[in-house]
Structure 1
Amino acid sequence: MTPWDYPDFDDHEGVHLFRDPAAGLTAIIAVHSTHLGPGSGGVRFWHYADRDAAITDALRLSRGMSYKNAMAGLPAGGAKGVILADANHTKTPELLAAFARAVDSLGGRYITAQDVGVSADDMVALSKGTRFVSGLPPAEGQAGGDPGPSTALGVFLGVKAAVNRALGTDRLEGIHVAIQGVGSVGGGLARHLAGEGARITIADVDQHRAETLAAALGAEVLPVDQILSADADVFSPCALGAVLNEASIPTIRAPIVAGAANNQLATPEDGQRLHDRGILYAPDYVINAGGIINVVLEYAGQGSAAEVEARVAQIPSRLYQVWDESSASGEPAAVVADRLARELIGRA
């Protein structure tokens, strides 16, 4: 099967497959759109069940980056890198150097950055082989570095907006938020919420990480298979994608879904399913844009840390735009957001 045959192929401008056996590299770089600027998006290091799953992930994630960058008002298109990890997640300097050469071969059509399984130190390593990289250690007061805190801040502001919209309060004290996944972003979100008195329930595949964070914040821990159906005000998916699907959506008890994970909807129909249940949904690529705001402004040399924070603070207004149009048209928020984003990238 060629990339054209995958259901998630969306007239991508390029789907590039890279193999360097000596370095242990098998990778995909999917460039969805460069209509607004170079394709920008992180690189994911993950062990997939098979290569078809990896290609599908790259296609979906790169399209999401096009939409995310467009809705955030950034001068960037959408692209994504995926490095296929072995079962032991073996990452070597040789593998990173080979991926840097792959990025460099595209001549700036793809700007890489940090994502799942990739660290800030890895970004520094990649920068030795290509200049088309962002997320590097920032100068004093400038944009750059780990994008996770900016993503967490944006999601926190988005959760506050969703609570105001659905529950009619601008206070988080006593609001119950169930967070699925408490890595860099989910953990940062939990800390922001705890700072405003929210009640927090968390789950993570790393039980020790969940218990450690819960002890620090006074949170409750649930098994991973129970967090989605927690009796909460907000369900916040902050792990991997496709968690919202035909089987899971009927079990959600929260009236709000607002989280950091990319590609939360397993299929386009799942946005309708949330809408039909009366659940207020914050489209993932709108609410989780904080990190890419930091990344793009760093690469463009346009932003201070203060400018990044100011732009992240605009995320709630974009969510309100989507929700207002959804209310007016009767369409699901996910459909409205997709239409707005496609208009911005010239694919109305």
Structure 2
Amino acid sequence: MTFIWDRPNFDAHEAVHIVTDPASGLRAIIAMHSTHLGPAAGGTRFWHYADDGDAMTDVLRLSRGMSYKNAMAGLPLGGGKAVILADAAKTKTPELLAAFGRAVDRLGGNYVTAEDVGMSVSDMIAISRETDFVAGLPVDDAGEVGGDPGPHTALGVFLGLKAAVKRKLGRDTLDGVHVALQGAGSVASHLARHCAGEGARISVADIDAAKVEALAAEVGGTVVDPAEILSIEADVLSPCALGAILNEESIAALNAPIIAGAANNQLARPEDGQRLVARDILYAPDYVINAGGIINVSTEYLDDGGHELVRQRIDAIPGRLDRIWDESDASGRDPAAVADSMAQRLIGRA
């Protein structure tokens, strides 16, 4: 018999909660990897998984990633994540969201949730009717911190992408730099606007044809087949969809010297980081470059500052990446392994 703690991605999680509510049809998993630095914070993903085991793998990887992300961003938060297992039609009802909110509330603040893939600000409002342990809520006053964390994630990725371009290509701006975006969702769209605004040439792919065509038209970009985006010749490949897309096969086919994107858990396996090094591809560890959203969520939830503090924390992302790349160059270890070691020390798991 295989127990959950025998799974490769379990990594000494403090708690994993299986949630069911037959009346609403809710099936969810809430994983708390670490509360060493504070309450386990991380968004809720609403997704249809082909297999329940895939959902467990996803939530464990995402939860651990949040521990590392929050620690590396200098936030007083631990790491957690939730997934709601959607049906094939991705049916989302007020009753289901309410049941999930009650499940979060029963954890007494040990887990704090916010938006992730498949969830919106309006969903967070519905959940907040059942629990106070939620962020990413709209604000009444323009001076308040809150709302959709996506634009903040995109800003951090943009700044980190620029740092990677400067380091690898020796260019101070993105003018004329070819950025290939995998994804045309909220974060990818904001990132595309930032890049295009500085003169970058954009190629973009997404399984949603209408969404990708609209984004390409807005930023003067080119639509690429989703099956071809990972191997397109570009200066920067920016994965902004789901994770585990960088593996032995896809890395061998890459035609970009830089990987810098918003997707979580981009490396399918730890050894894939060294495969990127072997191909002389500069990788920006995902949970470092994409921390802008949780920075905004943290500031909202903890009420420890305003927009200036959010921007100050996001502006620190490029410097953090440079320190990781410096140590990678000096040690011979890949940037992902270096970042993991730094994060593990911060959460007391060196």
Matched residues in 2 for 1:281 and 1:213: separation? 25
Number of the residue aligned with 1:253: 255
Partner of residue 204 from structure 1, selected from 203, 206, 210? 206
CA offsets 1:114-158 (integer angstroms, 9 cap, x no match): 000000000011000000000111232121110000000000001
Matched residues in 2 for 1:209 and 1:202: separation? 10
Matched residues in 2 for 1:180 and 1:3: separation? 32
Number of the residue aligned with 1:61: 62
> How large is the RMSD of aligned CA atoms in angstroms?
0.7
The question of whether the paired residues in 2 share the 8 Å contact of 1:272 and 1:332 is answered with yes
Number of the residue aligned with 1:47: 48
Q: Where do 5+ consecutive residues of structure 1 fail to align?
A: none
Alignment of 1:154-233 (within 5 A): 154-233=156-235
Number of matched residues?
348
Matched residues in 2 for 1:83 and 1:312: separation? 29
Alignment of 1:76-225 (within 5 A): 76-138=77-139, 139-225=141-227
Matched residues in 2 for 1:294 and 1:287: separation? 14
Q: Secondary structure at the match of 1:131?
A: coil
Partner of residue 329 from structure 2, selected from 321, 327, 330? 327
Matched residues in 2 for 1:40 and 1:122: separation? 17
Number of the residue aligned with 2:291: 289
Moved more, 299-308 or 100-109: 299-308
Per the TM alignment, residue 169 of structure 1 is displaced from its structure 2 partner at its CA by 1.0
Number of the residue aligned with 1:27: 28
Number of the residue aligned with 1:4: 5
CA offsets 1:146-182 (integer angstroms, 9 cap, x no match): 0000000000001000000000111110000000001
Per the TM alignment, residue 21 of structure 1 is displaced from its structure 2 partner at its CA by 1.1
Matched residues in 2 for 1:249 and 1:123: separation? 37
The question of whether the paired residues in 2 share the 8 Å contact of 1:142 and 1:303 is answered with no
Matched residues in 2 for 1:297 and 1:340: separation? 23
Matched residues in 2 for 1:210 and 1:140: separation? 30
Structure 1 residue ranges, 4+ long, deviating more than 3 angstroms after superposition: none
Matched residue type, 2:15: G
Matched residues in 1 for 2:106 and 2:277: separation? 43
Number of the residue aligned with 1:15: 16
Matched residues in 2 for 1:309 and 1:268: separation? 31
Matched residue type, 1:338: D
Number of the residue aligned with 1:262: 264
Per the TM alignment, residue 189 of structure 1 is displaced from its structure 2 partner at its CA by 0.4
- The TM-score with structure 2 as length reference comes to 0.99
CA offsets 1:184-239 (integer angstroms, 9 cap, x no match): 00010000000000011000111111111111111011000001111100000000
Q: Secondary structure at the match of 1:190?
A: helix
The question of whether the paired residues in 2 share the 8 Å contact of 1:38 and 1:76 is answered with yes
Q: Where do 5+ consecutive residues of structure 2 fail to align?
A: none
Q: Secondary structure at the match of 2:249?
A: coil
